[in-house]
Amino acid sequence: MKRGIIGIVILIAALIFVAGCAASNKGGNQQTEKVKLYLYGAGTLAKPFKEVIGEFEKKYPNVTIESQFGGSVKMVKQVTELHQPGDIIAVADYNVIPKYMFGENGQTKYTDWYIGFVNNSITFVYTDKSKYANEINSTNWYKILSEKGVQIGRSNPNTDPSGYQTLQMLKLAEKYYKDPTIYEKILANAPEKNIRDTETELLSSLEAGQIDYLAIYKSDALQHHLKYLDLPAQINLSDPKYANFYKEAVVDTKNGELSGKPIIYAITIPNNSKNTEWAIKFVEFLLGPDGQSIMKKNGFGVLEKPYANNVDKVPAELKNFVSEWPKQ
């Protein structure tokens, strides 16, 4: 009889142990299952995002993030037109997301929200090899860049936000300095041969002295320890308080007319993501103190509280990180 009771006790203990292990495994699956996320980002996000990805993968060793960086419009179209797998999309101009992903004008709807997580400004960088490097400053820059023989690099305004933001900045400079020739004269020194899909592709040409100046984001200037022009906030597209002035700068591109807006980088998760839960965790990490610290270290402006459009559509896990997008 005693042996029977002991046997029953051992059996019950074994069942409890097995059940406990099963429950433990169920709770741990999230940390042990292998996950691959696909991220597409603006070219200027390559350096900081590689750091963010590295820290995220350390925190979650079961996750691997495959990333690709380039012109923001081109990166979005990897998902919307080429139908590549995509879990996270981050662009240098928040307007790119609603334009190509919100499903307007009969397009397929890929998302209905985005979060602005850092800001930036447009500038020109140069080196000691650049023509007039010892003379140029934030007051005379537009005169120097108009000089005959100066070679200027820029990105493609049809594929990359910094390309059309550079054009918008030059339009604003004409108004700010009351000189209607700035746009035409400077672009005469930035011909087609000096254009690439993303401006970071021209950094080696700048270092080699093949071009003298490069239109680029301030964050890149700081990351690459380059000399740069500290342009007025009224024209460098950095400050939301000048939004009404910025929108007066309208430029033509193959994607239609584009008016100037504050440079705010935005991120979203396509609704056809196969790993939405983990994509949300990545955005959480990016918006959290560790992610924002990396962005700040790399020269980006950190927002007091990231902006979100359609807050009610933002995943519940991210809502505490965001505030309503400022009205303009």
For 248, the token pair is 């007066």
For 91, the token pair is 């662009």
For 97, the token pair is 């997301």
Tell me the domains of the chain and their CATH numbers. 33-119+263-324 (3.40.190.10), 122-259 (3.40.190.10)
212: nearest Cα among 156, 146, 139: 146
For 100, the token pair is 């190509």
Count of other CB atoms within 10 angstroms of residue 149: 8
How buried is residue 296: exposed, middle or buried, by Cβ count under 10 Å (0-12/13-18/19+)? middle
Q: What is the pLDDT of residue 28?
A: 42
d(CA 258, CA 7): 79
Q: What is the pLDDT of residue 8?
A: 54
Residue located via tokens 């409890």: 16
**DSSP per-residue string spanning 169-183:** HHHHHHHHHT-TTHH
pTM for the model stands at 0.78
For the chain (328 residues), the mean pLDDT of every run of 10, in chain order, is 52 48 44 90 95 98 97 95 96 94 90 96 97 97 98 94 96 98 98 93 95 96 94 94 94 93 96 97 98 96 92 96 86
Give every CB contact of residue 79 below 8 A, 6+ residues apart in sequence: 40, 86, 89, 101, 110, 270
Q: What is the pLDDT of residue 27?
A: 39
Rounded to 5 degrees, what are φ and ψ at 213?
-140, 150
d(CA 313, CA 60): 26
d(CA 12, CA 188): 85
Instruction: Name the 3-class secondary structure at 254.
Output: coil
